[in-house]
């Protein structure tokens, strides 16, 4: 079974700040007016660079909230290990920082919030059933169980030692992409032999993280 997570909110702060991006783009040279008229454009380049890097490393960068749905607790209950105890369950987007809420319902009824004493988050970022508990009865229809959680790599300045930090090489890749977007304002360039060719980090790279399925 393939689980899909829907993003509720992105990071409130980007891993590359506007000031850092300006320094990288050499906009801090003497005589630069500091004009902020292109800041919205530069911010969109920063967000796009992060999205491309997230796709490449298969991890999200910065705290972001997601929700995923299950048709009942069956997918959780059936993940048994060799000792007959429900094994920790992996969520579709990581690295997972916290389980914010689990809600469940019987068919046609309103949602009930599952007490956080029933489950725990393992060091590997998986949902595990707490000792002495079992999953409650829920319906088997779509969205019978909703799991809301926060995932995302921490920034180098993150004080939480338990959070996986984004590495410098990923930040360098983001800066390279920002520079690429800044210097190329079109999806195509003129080829040496005439005609046009798509930029290597062009439209397809930007659309890939937004695909609905592998077939797109």
pTM, whole model, 2 decimals? Answer: 0.80
Q: In this predicted model, what pLDDT tens digit does every residue of 126-172 receive, in sequence order?
A: 898 888 888 888 888 888 999 999 999 998 877 777 788 988 888 98
The sign of the torsion formed by the CA atoms of 61, 67, 68, 72 equals: positive
Written as tens digits, the pLDDT of the chain (216 aa) is 456 889 999 999 999 999 899 889 888 665 555 667 888 999 999 999 999 889 888 899 999 999 999 888 876 665 555 555 566 788 888 899 999 999 999 877 899 999 999 999 988 888 988 888 888 888 888 889 999 999 999 988 777 777 889 888 889 888 988 988 888 777 766 666 666 566 666 656 655 665 544 443
């Amino acid at each position: 079974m393939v689980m899909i997570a829907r993003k509720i909110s992105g990071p409130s702060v980007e891993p590359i700040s506007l000031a850092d991006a300006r320094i990288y783009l050499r906009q801090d040279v003497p005589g630069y007016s500091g004009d902020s008229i292109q800041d919205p454009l530069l911010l969109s380049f920063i967000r796009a660079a992060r999205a491309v890097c997230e796709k490449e490393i298969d991890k999200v960068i910065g705290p972001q909230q997601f929700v995923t749905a299950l048709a009942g607790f069956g997918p959780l209950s059936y993940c048994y290990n060799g000792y007959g105890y429900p094994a920790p369950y992996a969520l579709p987007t990581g690295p997972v920082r916290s389980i914010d809420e689990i809600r469940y319902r019987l068919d046609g009824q309103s949602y009930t919030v599952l007490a956080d004493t029933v489950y725990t988050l393992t060091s590997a970022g998986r949902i595990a059933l707490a000792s002495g508990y079992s999953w409650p009865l829920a319906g088997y229809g779509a969205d019978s169980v909703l799991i809301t959680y926060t995932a995302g790599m921490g920034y180098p300045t993150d004080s939480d030692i338990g959070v996986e930090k984004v590495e410098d090489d990923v930040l360098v890749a983001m800066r390279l992409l920002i520079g690429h977007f800044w210097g190329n304002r079109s999806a195509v360039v003129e080829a040496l032999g005439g005609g046009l060719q798509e930029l290597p980090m062009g439209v397809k790279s930007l659309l890939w993280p937004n695909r609905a399925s592998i077939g797109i």
